[in-house]
Structures are given as C-alpha cells and as structure tokens.
Amino acid sequence: MPEKNHHAVIFASHPPSEEQKARFMVFLKREYGPDITLDWQKEYVPKGFRLVVDEEDFYDWSINGKLRQLKESLKDLHGEDSDVIPLIRETVKNWKPKALVEELGTVSAVGDGIATVTGLDHVVYGEILLFSNGVRGMVQDLRENETGCILFDEDGDICQGSPVWRTGKAAGVPVGESMTGRIVNSLGAPIDGKGEIVTRATRPIENPAPGIIARQSVFRPMATGILAIDSMFPIGRGQRELIIGDRQTGKTAIAIDTILNQKGGDVICIYVSIGQKASAIAQLAQNLRERGAMDYTIIVHASASDPAPLQYIAPYAGCAIGEFFMEQGKDVLIVYDDLSKHAIAYRTLSLLLGRSPGREAYPGDVFYLHSRLLERSAQLSDERGGGSMTALPIVETQAGDVSAYIPTNIISITDGQIFLESSLFFAGQRPAVNVGLSVSRVGGDAQTKAMKKAAGAIRLDLAQYREMEVFTQFASDLDDSTKEQLVYGQGLMRLLRQNQYHPLRQYEQVILLCSALERVLMRVPLGEINSFALEMLAFFYDKNRALCDRIEQSGKLTPEDREEIVQTARQLVEQAAAERGW
C-alpha cells in the first residue's frame, strides 16, 4: 500500500527563508516521511509561526504557544497550587520549547456569537477554544462531526475556514481578596476604570455543588434590615431565598438594602447584574459607594448590550468568586439580578445552537441551568471551614403570574420566596411584601431568640386583618372589637413601611415589634406612625443605650427587657398624645 502524501502549511507574518525552509523539511521528513510538501500562508502570528500538517496536526510556535508550554512545565515541576513567581527564573533557565503536536479545528459557520467548528474530535464540554484572531470561545454543544461554541468576544474577524485550537482548560475567572470594591465583567476583567486587578488564582466558573456531608443546617441569621422580612420571613446564612414580583415593584431595592445592612459586619457581598443597562449599574455602584458598602462588595456586570454568552456565564462567574471566599471560612451574600434575563440569554444560545425548543421555547435542560447554580450556595460544615454563601435570586413575573415556567422552576429550587405585589406597591405599602404568598422554609432557625420572641404572632395577626378587611368591605355596621382589630392591623401594615437605604438594626426591630404587638401604638394616628417610630427609636438609643447594646450583642430578649420596652413606649405614646392632642 503506497504511503500517504502529506501536505504542511506554515502560517506566519513573513515567508520563511531558504535556510528556515530547509530546517522545516528536515523536521517534517523525520516525523511524516519523505513524501511531504510545504507551503507558506500569510497570517498575523505574534513572534513566531504555526505549522499545520494535513489539516490535522498543529504545532504552535507563536509566543502564546510557548507560554502555554511554559505554564504546563511550571505546573509539572512545582504543582498546581505552588507560588510560581519565585520559581519562574529557575524553570525558564532549564526549559526548552518542544515541537508538540496539537489538535486543530476549522470554523465551518459563524454568526450571532456562535461558531460551529469541525476537526476537534477529542474536545470536551465546557473547554475553552482559541481562534486565530485571539477570540475565545467555550464548547457548549457536542455533535457527531462538529462542535458548537459560544464566543466571548466579537466575531467580526472570524470567518469560515479560520483555524481553531484547543486550550485543554475549562472556563475560569480570576479570584482573590483584591476584587472587593471593584466592578468586573463576566470574565473577571475590571470595567470600572480603576486599573488592573492583581489576582494569583483562578477558579472554574462551573463547579460541583458541595455534597451532603460537606454541608450543615442553616442556623445563623442573614439580617436584611427590613422589618417585614426579618420578622416574618427570616433568611439564614447559606439559604437561597427567591425575590419574585412584577417589574418595578422593589425587588432590587430589597437586595440592595440587604447589602447595606452588612456594613460593619463580616459578610462579602457579590451583586451579579444580568442584562441591565450600564447606566443603572453605575448609579447603583455610586449609591453603594456613598454609603460605604462598596468596600465589601463586588459587582459582576453583563450589560444588555453584551453578547448572550457573556450574560449566560455571568452568574456562574459571580458564584465562583463567592466560592473562593466561602472556602476560606467567610460568609458571602450573592444577588442574581435577575435570572429571568439569564434564562432568556440561555434560550437564545440554545436556539442558535439548533437545540429542540420546549415549553415557552426554552430548552429541556433549563431547570438544570439554575439548579446547578443555586445548589452551590450552602452553609459548609465546620470541617470544611464553616463558611457560607447565601443566594438572593431575583425573578421577574408578568402580571403576577407565579405559575409561569421559569418562576415555578426557581420556586421549586429555592428555600422560600418573598413575593412582591403590584397592588400593594402602588397603594404605598413598600416594601410590597405579600404576607400570604411569601414564605421562608428555614423559618425560626434563622432568627435570633430576641427576634423570635419579639415577632410573636405577627403573621397570624396580619392574616386575620387582611381577611377581615376583605369581609368588612361589604358591612356597614361594625362592632367595637372588629373596629379595634382593623385599627390594629392598619397600624401594623403602616409600621412595616420602610424607606429604601434605611435598614434597621436588630435592637430597633425588636423595640418596634414589642411595642406594636402589645398594641401600644394603637393611639398613634396612621399618618404619624412611621415618624413616631423613628422618634421612639432615637429616644431608646439616647436614654437607654445599655438596653439597645444588650439586645444587639446577645441576640436575646429577657422578660424584664421586654417589659421595660413596653412601659417606655407606653409613656412616650401618652406624652405625645397629650402634647399633640391625639
């Protein structure tokens, strides 16, 4: 059987000299036999060349290829986690680049952030591919004879026939302490104009969730500073609590207030923006900066103008950054704003990749899209360092329809939801939390003893009030007990109104709840309840600082402290009633 005739092509910026060509032929004949031809094709290759044989074997002798070999040599000699900087000089001294054959692919089609590649028979799902103009992509679809790849950069310079080579690495994001206070894109590159972020480690954006043995039960509160949530739907560290509601009902405001409430604590906050305007994120960052919250916050931003692949990987990148801190034993709060747009970006990619559409045109694995993300939030066991990552995913509904595809999927994944109702919002009840549809499946386990005692039966009282309110719309004559119940319920609802950017400390919430549930505030007119509550809190802080500090630091409420709060509040109400003629 005759030997195969081989053909080699040199890709370089300039044609090789006769001497260089002779050296190439010596190497090629040694590796492939005497029946081989060599041609040159012009292509910009930084400081070197690339050699392709039979469109199958690929030798990268550009500066990038040599650096990849050097990095692999460092890893082989010194290990994955070694501090390579002081060892580089020693390694470079003894290192010589080799002629290593690599797998080469070819672009068969490209468009809309998707490239179809042939010739990469051993590529794996999630691997990063490198295109001839430096564009990076990630393998997202494996077929019998071709590979679907999503692109992380503009595809304008990629055309049919362009070479593609494997990197052998999964998509990753840089992580480190230096990222706090910065705004980065989905790939971890800074976009806030404050210069380069120096990090010494990277993490894969896709990572298995901690197993059952690596976790422990949620037992510590993640205080939001919002009275309506901390009293009735407490969130624990390591929990996943969904914030769901129509557009413009205050979903992001709850997440931002929760971030602000961590000031002075030990929580690292990560805000992942998916498909939002860059101007909105700039304003959000400014608000956080003015209130001193950017010092412990990282913003991962994939704007509405970014390609769908960048919007798709943004929450996974933010989660990888959070896992870095969690595995150091720290507590992390991560906000995904919002997963509705994330699902839309994934649907776009899936349809472009030719996957079969299902319900609402989403692909069949859209549930796994979010479950593998949210399951990475956990309270780790003490053996794993005891760190935690608390997730606040946000989902936008249409006309309050919580039975739509994406909302029901995420409700079934999370440990509870805070449902924001449009009618309450427009009636001035802000935050517009619907007490009936909201729930926390962790419950009192995530509350301090002080909050648990102070909150008491507030949910039951509000449920009775709302039921009675509906019933009394049809009644003209009410007895005294019904009127009293209505006044009490209206006062509770008014007390739960809270301005944005004004989270409450634990002792402040305890004082308000003890006073309200003992019906001390019933004499205060509805329009003055919020202003009187602020005056009362200021009085306690000025005149009884010891009581405030005791509740805040111990997280306990003794019967004596409760009685003191109620008596002081009653005196303040009587004094204000006499002065203001209530």
CATH number at 407 reads 3.40.50.300
* Torsional sign, CA 502, 333, 513, 416: positive
- Percent helix, strand and coil across the chain, each rounded to 5? 40, 20, 35
Residue 89 pLDDT more than 60? no
- pLDDT tens, position by position, 387-442: 999 999 999 999 989 999 999 999 999 999 999 999 999 999 999 999 989 999 98
Which position has the higher pLDDT, 279 or 78? 279
Instruction: Please tell me the predicted confidence (pLDDT) of residue 162.
Output: 86
Q: Is residue 351 located within the same domain as residue 460?
A: no
Instruction: Please tell me the predicted confidence (pLDDT) of residue 449.
Output: 93
Query: Cα separation of 456 and 273, whole Å?
Result: 36
- pLDDT tens, position by position, 303-335: 999 999 999 999 999 999 999 999 999 999 999
Residue 113 pLDDT more than 80? yes
Q: Is residue 153 located within the same domain as residue 177?
A: no
146: containing domain:
6-171
Q: Is residue 405 located within the same domain as residue 543?
A: no
Total tally of structural domains belonging to the chain: 3
pLDDT confidence band for 476 (50 / 70 / 90): low
* Torsional sign, CA 250, 252, 258, 259: negative
Give the pair of three-digit tokens for residue 171: 């998509």
Average pLDDT over residues 439-461: 90
Instruction: Please tell me the predicted confidence (pLDDT) of residue 150.
Output: 94
Average pLDDT over residues 37-64: 78
In the annotation, is 430 catalytic?
A: no
Q: Is residue 295 located within the same domain as residue 437?
A: yes
Rounded to the nearest integer, the mean pLDDT of the chain is 89
Which is the catalytic residue, given 355, 441, 505, 519? Answer: 441
Q: Percentage of residues in the chain with pLDDT exceeding 70?
A: 92
Tell me which residue has tokens 């993640």. Answer: 222
Give the pair of three-digit tokens for residue 154: 């503009």
Q: Is residue 435 located within the same domain as residue 548?
A: no
Among 137, 171, 205, the domain-final residue is 171
Lowest-confidence range among 62-71, 102-111, 269-278? 62-71
Query: Cα separation of 505 and 267, whole Å?
Result: 16
Q: Is residue 435 located within the same domain as residue 464?
A: no
| Residue 467 belongs to a domain | yes
Instruction: Please tell me the predicted confidence (pLDDT) of residue 44.
Output: 67
Q: Is residue 268 located within the same domain as residue 332?
A: yes
Q: Is residue 302 located within the same domain as residue 284?
A: yes
Instruction: Please tell me the predicted confidence (pLDDT) of residue 70.
Output: 66
Instruction: Please tell me the predicted confidence (pLDDT) of residue 533.
Output: 95
Instruction: Please tell me the predicted confidence (pLDDT) of residue 1.
Output: 45
Lowest-confidence range among 37-46, 231-240, 314-323, 446-455? 37-46
> Whose CA is closest to 28, among 9, 1, 43, 2?
9
- pLDDT tens, position by position, 129-156: 988 777 899 999 999 889 999 999 888 7
Instruction: Please tell me the predicted confidence (pLDDT) of residue 77.
Output: 58
pLDDT confidence band for 185 (50 / 70 / 90): very high
Query: Length of the chain in residues, anyone?
Result: 582
* C-beta separation of 237 from 331 below 8 A: yes
| Residue 1 belongs to a domain | no
| Residue 11 belongs to a domain | yes
Lowest-confidence range among 211-220, 442-451, 525-534? 442-451
Residue 329, sorted as left (phi over 0), alpha (psi -120 to 50) or beta, turns out to be: left
Query: Cα separation of 426 and 334, whole Å?
Result: 28
Task: Identify whether 525 is preceded by a cis peptide bond (ω within 30 of 0).
Answer: no
| Residue 234 belongs to a domain | yes
Calculate the alpha carbon distances from 580 to 122, 464, 484, 531 in Å: 81, 31, 22, 13
> Whose CA is closest to 337, among 301, 370, 389, 308?
301
Residue 84 pLDDT more than 70? no
Q: Is residue 300 located within the same domain as residue 267?
A: yes
| Residue 515 belongs to a domain | yes
- pLDDT tens, position by position, 156-173: 788 888 888 888 888 999
Residue 29 pLDDT more than 90? no
Query: Cα separation of 223 and 239, whole Å?
Result: 12
Residue 47 pLDDT more than 80? no
- pLDDT tens, position by position, 242-264: 999 999 999 999 999 999 999 99
pTM given for the model: 0.84
CB < 8 Å & 24+ apart, contacts of 536-541:
536/511, 536/512, 536/569, 536/572, 537/508, 537/511, 537/512, 539/568, 539/572, 540/507, 540/511, 540/565, 540/568
Average pLDDT over residues 557-564: 94
Instruction: Please tell me the predicted confidence (pLDDT) of residue 96.
Output: 59
Radius of gyration of the chain (CA): 30
Among 446, 472, 507, the domain-final residue is 446
Among 412, 446, 480, the domain-final residue is 446
Average pLDDT over residues 354-360: 92
CATH number of the domain enclosing 488: 1.20.150.20
Which position has the higher pLDDT, 454 or 85? 454
CATH number of the domain enclosing 141: 2.40.30.20
φ and ψ of 301, to 5 deg: -120, 120
Instruction: Please tell me the predicted confidence (pLDDT) of residue 173.
Output: 95
pLDDT confidence band for 456 (50 / 70 / 90): confident
Q: Percentage of residues in the chain with pLDDT exceeding 90?
A: 67
Q: Is residue 354 located within the same domain as residue 219?
A: yes
Q: Is residue 105 located within the same domain as residue 195?
A: no
Average pLDDT over residues 84-95: 54
* Torsional sign, CA 234, 239, 242, 243: positive
Q: Is residue 189 located within the same domain as residue 165?
A: no
Residue 371 pLDDT more than 90? yes
